[in-house]
Structure 1
């Protein structure tokens, strides 16, 4: 057991009394005297200002959010209709080796953090540290940004996050890979190595391959960014980086606002409501396109780039809960078929909605003849939806259920770490749908980590968690969705504690061969302090 953790016996009553969702909404999103309903009305009113028929669309946007069918990214919920007004979550900034470039990027990042956004950097233009002191090197610059991010926590409702990326050819790549080896180092960064097809085709010839995979096995980082796959359909300057969670590859000064359709809300009596889904997707695309026009941008360069390309990121959440409601086990052949069909529907309706908007309002300014005639250069993505799915009461993104009862590390309004016992919404649905004894079922899972004996066998077969799946199942699911997604996908490839470095190598190679745009793995217990922890025999382990 990792140092500093303990096994906790908890009761179902503790779960019943805890209302983390309401506390998160109150502390992060609501303004003085505002209710959750008032938040949705504030956001809908602000975004609908971009429409001529603003009252009609204000009603539609309000209904989307208040029903839980769609939710925009956190900065939109926090800032729409308020003084700050920054509505985008995802940014990428350029950075070079000069003092002016480094501190200009530092200042710009602080402004983005104030509005609740996250930033990605490719640090490859910074020379490696040398004996002549002409360059301080990449890792010290990252440390500077990490310290600034810590400082900004007291000024923001949402903790800042960054992606640090480095090209595999950079002379400082090994120091970069080792930069997070010590617990707590650069904790505000996710890090990834940018690799090309030539590298992946001959990995056994590159000593760096072992270094990357061993580090990922040890600490869950770095991930890989497959730059040739990302740029295969890109006709502009090469994209070299993503936002902090990896789902949104962007050019320098690029930004994107995200929104997520809750798939679980479209399952009725085991069947998927395709018509209702299509209507929601069309309205959600219009919502996100209107965000581009009602946004307050932190930098003029970001405004110019965003308005020229009008990228949006419509994705999904609740996929795992959707499967359970349909009677399909995650990782089964049937689940892959559902994923293929759902991702295809998302692409078809989202692209059609953007094309309709292009006819009504004109295409994005950077559009050139021969490109798809759309309002938005990129339309779809799949984000992790951590807090957003909590608000919508569903499972995150396209991830499998992590655990049906678990402990989650959270940061309270005073920015102190604490833990909360969580019940997965899909578990609540199972209890209601099958008339189970809630106290008995939850207490049994919290203390033993297994389904209660009263749960029928066919229902138990649906209770698949991330740790029940082989890494190949995780990668296959990501690859299916990626075939239909314009941008990238944020997904964690979970591995058991006894996974090997060869397993990591296999997952990385399989993701590249399957045309994924990036990959992140996490081996259980790689870190002493983990964001979430499962319940097992003896109780719930504290993260």
Structure 2
């Protein structure tokens, strides 16, 4: 056991038993001592706690005393002894305060400690500098205390501590207080920043160097020029960056923007985005943003002015480029595109060419969507061998394993989504791909899957009619047909099958297949439900091809073929930065949108293309996908609950403004730079904007589209400008998940509702306590933010509804995803969809799913004109740790959240509890 003073003592299980007994006596008085069950209960809890402690043991078998106490507290909570657990928490808090008081008394008499420098020499530990760094980190932040952090640091340093361990100790000391005060996330980030500054400045200078936040205001410009030269020497930065006016760009860097990061954001940046050599980071955050801006501005006439404009936009968090752009802009391999869509052809060469393309695209951080519908089904004839096909599933297994093998250089998991149309004869086996049972050779545990559903199928479901499955080699034109043309040809093939003219087909009841689709979606989270006809009928590029699938995250709807791999370049507006308590800041949103579209268009020209089919497609059509994030934060700022008509109206208004200005910006770029090559014949060329294309969908559906079509801006004037100038980009709008870039900006991802008010987030950078700072601010104003509230939030998994002290207004405003009726999410999404030329990554949440509820929800999504849906999420027994999150080892001391029971567990539809798509953004 590792004690608080750093010494090690032997493991003694009886001490847990004694602590538990004292806790019962403190909570229940002397009557507990005479209880015949006390000894048995204590013995059972001791055994549970001992097993938990073993899970925490480090590589040398050590476990910290605080971790042991955490496990004891958790055992009490799991056993339902909540009163005893509360007494135990208070006992720990009293003793912690006593230790702090003792530490203050002995601080002046503490011995002088030494630190081991990187070269192995020992130097006095500079407490004065440590104090300065901590005090700067806490400056201008409410309810944080430098002396509290310093006391925690003093408890954990030791004589001979290395400089790296000291830096780690600073950040870990501050993060222990995040669960009680979210501003400590900023403190922790600033302390991590001090470590990063020392690392980067020393590397660039070639000798030990450091600077605090105040000093960096003067040093950033000089560092920046040295950083660019050093990066070029290391062959990581494009030599063209040296041709910029580095003095001018360095002067434009705002050092104080470094301290705007939360801990999760900066740690994510540190671990995965900042350039490094042999693990040593030499890129500071503002240099990172300027490097991205320079990389995107390479082809601009006034490169410095545009780079500064782009830098201001992303470093202020008003807008953020997608992850591939952040990874690679300005480097020697600038693969900046986010999403790639392919169609796999029906022969061995085509199949393995498609899989090879997946590997090459994934290598440089691309997310993949594959259309597998053309591949013939099981039992189909193979002319070359006179044999029978095994169908599409064995090849999907190979694609799955390829995605695992090519993991984007360890920065992110490689990821791919396979799409199959609902009429494919292998569709039922396709539904089973993500099951954990059955023949593992016919399972794809790592690959996403999605149903590509034509309207004709859902009409059959609603009419309870039969549905016929075909092999695509016998019905090849179905793949390229949609709308009424598909329905007519599909019925002709059914008649041909009845006449015996087709060899491979099978008839099922449409309702039964639909139920099975929903059942698999509930049980495995896959395949997702996406709608073929709305994607094609509303596509601006329907004159130039067919949309055969969406992408990895279901927001991209572009044409694919044997010759063209669709490419989309993504970025997202931070909506939280464009609202006030009074509403939308329309002028700021206009400026951001227009600059963002220019940046995205530039990406197409400076991009490094790994396969020729992607280059040809991207340069011909020039699609981009401007989206948004921070939607829930924008609602909080306006005091609008997600489950309200006001939220639906705001979704409509905000998306209308983004759409209007994005289309206008692309049209202005067309006047400046020229129209995209395939413009003529597009919906744009006919003056048909996304809001107008709704009518095309309504005409193809007998029942129309149940959707409000009102607008507020001058769309007639914009139509005329588009006709006159053309468009620079075939597509301009798509809402991606923004999982990692929203972490960097410190806002809620994409259009998502609030996940939890308090939870532990796990990603490739580690475990992070995430606490809703807006909620804490309001609870403080209401006078109810205290240690008991923290414990209640943890016990109820971040939900406010069961906590009596929380005002009703706040319960409504900060309702979590599983408390919101999912129809509100569909309603808001449908309002956005009318303005978007592509689609949106729409997660749906359901606390207690049933077949009837799922059927109603997905039919509603279809009737409302949605093009795609994404994950179905249901609450499960996977919740925030019930024990304290505090610790001294630099890691969250709680056992895995998956081990913590919910007060009332619900069915689980998907194993991902924190809905992140790490591979899309």
Paired with 1:257 and 1:432, the residues of 2 have a C-alpha distance of: 42
- The secondary structure found in structure 2 opposite 1:422 is strand
Query: For residues 297 and 770 of structure 2, what CA distance do their matches in structure 1 show?
Result: 35
CA contact (8 A) 2:843 2:872 kept: yes
Query: C-alpha separation between the residues in 2 aligned to 1:535 and 1:468?
Result: 20
TM-score normalised to the size of structure 1? 0.91
Q: CA offsets per residue over residues 101-130 of structure 1, 9 Å max, x none?
A: 122112211111111011111111112233
| Aligned with 1:291 (options 603, 609, 612) | 603
Match of 2:295 in 1: 46
- Cα shift readout 1:417-459 (whole Å, capped 9, x = no counterpart): x543322454466568878747665454223334477754433
* 1:137 and 2:391 correspond: yes
Sort the Cα spacing of 1:150 and 1:321 in 2 relative to 1 into closer, same or farther, 3 A.
same
Mapping of residues 126-525 of structure 1, within 5 Å? 126-130=375-379, 134-153=388-407, 155-182=409-436, 185-203=443-461, 204-205=464-465, 206=510, 207-233=512-538, 234-252=542-560, 253-368=565-680, 370-371=685-686, 372=722, 373-412=726-765, 419-424=767-772, 426-427=774-775, 430=778, 437=785, 441-448=789-796, 449-451=798-800, 456-496=807-847, 498-524=848-874
2:306 alignment counterpart: 57
TM-score relative to the length of structure 2: 0.54
CA distance in 2, matches of 1:435, 1:141: 60
**Shift, 1:97, TM fit:** 3.2
Q: 2:177 aligns with which of 13, 23, 26?
A: 13
1:538 Cα offset (Å): 10
The residue number in structure 2 matching 1:118 is 367
Deviations 1:109-164 (A, max 9, x none): 11111110111111111122339764332222111111122222373412111111
Deviation at 1:408, TM superposition (A): 2.4
Matches of 1:425 and 1:290 in 2, distance apart?
A: 36
- SS of the residue aligned with 1:519? coil
For residues 455 and 196 of structure 1, the distance between their equivalents in structure 2, rounded to whole angstroms, comes to 46
Q: Give the 3-state SS of the residue equivalent to 1:163 in structure 2.
A: strand
Does structure 2 conserve the Cα–Cα contact (< 8 Å) formed by 1:12 and 1:439?
no
- The alpha carbon displacement at 1:173 in A equals 0.5
Shift in CA distance, 242/435, structure 1 to aligned 2, threshold 3 Å: farther
> Superposition RMSD on alpha carbons, in Å?
2.8
Q: How many residues align?
A: 530
Alpha-carbon separation, structure 1, partners of 2:884 and 2:409: 40
For 1:110 and 1:507, locate their aligned partners in 2 and report how far apart those are by CA, in whole Å.
36
Are the equivalent residues in 1 in contact too, given 2:378–2:389 (CA < 8 A)?
yes
Change (3 A) 1:337 1:525: closer
2:355 equivalent in structure 1: 106
> Structure 2 vs 1, CA of residues 291 and 285 (structure 1 numbering), >3 Å: closer, same or farther?
same
Closer, same or farther in 2 for the Cα pair 1:133/1:144, shift >3 Å? Answer: farther
Q: Return closer, same or farther for 1:355/1:430 CA change in 2, 3 Å cut-off.
A: farther
- From the CA coordinates, give the structure whose radius of gyration is larger: 2
Bigger drift between 167-176 and 426-435 goes to 426-435
Pairwise CA distance, 1:294: 1.0
Distance 1:195 1:374, change over 3 A: same
Higher relative contact order (CA 8 A, sep 6+): 1
Distance in 2 between the 1:137 and 1:286 partners? 44
Is residue 259–residue 284 contact of structure 1 (8 Å, CA) maintained in 2?
yes
Shift of 1:525: 5.0
Structure 2 Cα separation of the partners of residues 338 and 140 of structure 1? 46
Would the alpha carbon gap of residues 481 and 219 (structure 1) be closer, same or farther in structure 2, given more than 3 Å must change? same
CA distance in 2, matches of 1:338, 1:195: 30
Distance (Å, rounded) in 2 between the aligned partners of 1:188 and 1:154: 15
Deviates more, 1:111-120 or 1:361-370: 361-370
Does the aligned pair in 2 maintain the 1:126–1:135 contact within 8 Å? no
* 2:271 aligned partner: 27
Alpha-carbon distance in 2 for matches of 1:200, 1:152: 37
Between structures 1 and 2, the one with greater strand share: 1
Q: Mark the CA change 1:154 to 1:355 in structure 2 (over 3 Å): closer, same or farther.
A: closer
| Structure with a larger share of its residues in helix | 2
Instruction: Please state how far the C-alpha of 1:217 moved relative to its aligned partner.
Output: 2.0
Per the TM alignment, residue 407 of structure 1 is displaced from its structure 2 partner at its CA by 2.3
Larger displacement relative to structure 2 (291-300 or 269-278): 269-278
**Structure 1 residues 155 and 523, CA gap change in structure 2 (3 angstroms):** closer
- Secondary structure (helix, strand or coil) at the match of 2:590 reads helix
Structure 1 residue 176: Cα displacement = 0.2
Query: Tell me, what secondary structure is at the counterpart of 1:71?
Result: strand
Q: CA deviation at 1:251?
A: 2.1
Please give the alpha-carbon distance, in whole angstroms, between the structure 2 residues aligned to 1:512 and 1:378.
Answer: 22
CA contact (8 A) 1:320 1:330 kept: yes
Q: d(CA) in 2 for partners of 1:277 and 1:491?
A: 23
Sort the Cα spacing of 1:523 and 1:399 in 2 relative to 1 into closer, same or farther, 3 A: closer
Structure 2 Cα separation of the partners of residues 209 and 197 of structure 1 = 13
Residue 38 of structure 1: how far off its partner (Å): 1.2
Distance 1:139 1:420, change over 3 A: farther
Where does the alignment leave 5 or more consecutive residues of structure 1 unmatched?
413-417
Aligned to 1:82: 331
Q: Secondary structure at the match of 2:517?
A: helix
